[in-house]
Amino acid sequence: MSDANAPWLVVGLGNPGPEYAANRHNVGFMVADLLAERIGGKFKRAQKAQAQLVEGRIGAPGPSGRRVVLAKPMSYMNLSGGPVMSLRDFYKVPTANIVAIHDELDIDYGALRLKLGGGDNGHNGLKSMTKSMGADYHRVRFGIGRPPGRMQVADFVLKDFSSTERKELAYLVDRTADAVECLVTEGLERAQSTYNS
């Protein structure tokens, strides 16, 4: 069980730079941006780690809200573990209070799955985080589906969402942000029963 007063570290995984901004691999950044907007913050470069940060509270207004640090590592996806570990240590966040928001190939587009721990399923951001601090953190997995035909996975994840996918993307990012808030304020079981699809 996590310490009720410990902050949460919510990490959107993605790649920095405008050329990656709308890629499937950057859906974690998209959700983090929306969460930052909801808590009334703007991402700023952190001195303490290679990341952009927003600090605030999620949940009920005032002191009953949960303290949260939103982060977007600026290290490129496959090196995400270093910045996340620096932030974990600086803010004294228990590993069980870390949430990684990321794209997931083995789930249909738009489906959502939340879990604690597990493997990385070939995802370089998760691989780097697990190598840095073990696997016992939460994952909010945003389904992007498998690449069509013979397209390579690397090409698929670094392409923008299709025009058909974009019709639903804002709604799905919004729902994912809701799921993260539910996880932080009400716990994994409630979040899974409400949002897993």
Angle between helical axes of 81-91 and 124-133 (0-180°, round to 10)? 40
Contact 69/9 with Cβ under 8 angstroms? yes
Catalytic status, residue 25? yes
What token pair was written down for 25?
A: 């691999």
Sequence letter at residue 80 = S
Query: In what helix (H) or strand (E) does residue 165 lie, and over which residues does it extend?
Result: helix 163-186
Q: Which of 25, 102, 123, 138 is catalytic?
A: 25
Any residues with CB less than 8 A from the CB of 45 and at least 6 apart, and which? 51, 52, 53, 74
Give the whole-angstrom CA distance, residue 35 versus residue 22: 17
Give the whole-angstrom CA distance, residue 73 versus residue 29: 9
Q: Tell me which residues are annotated as active site.
A: 25
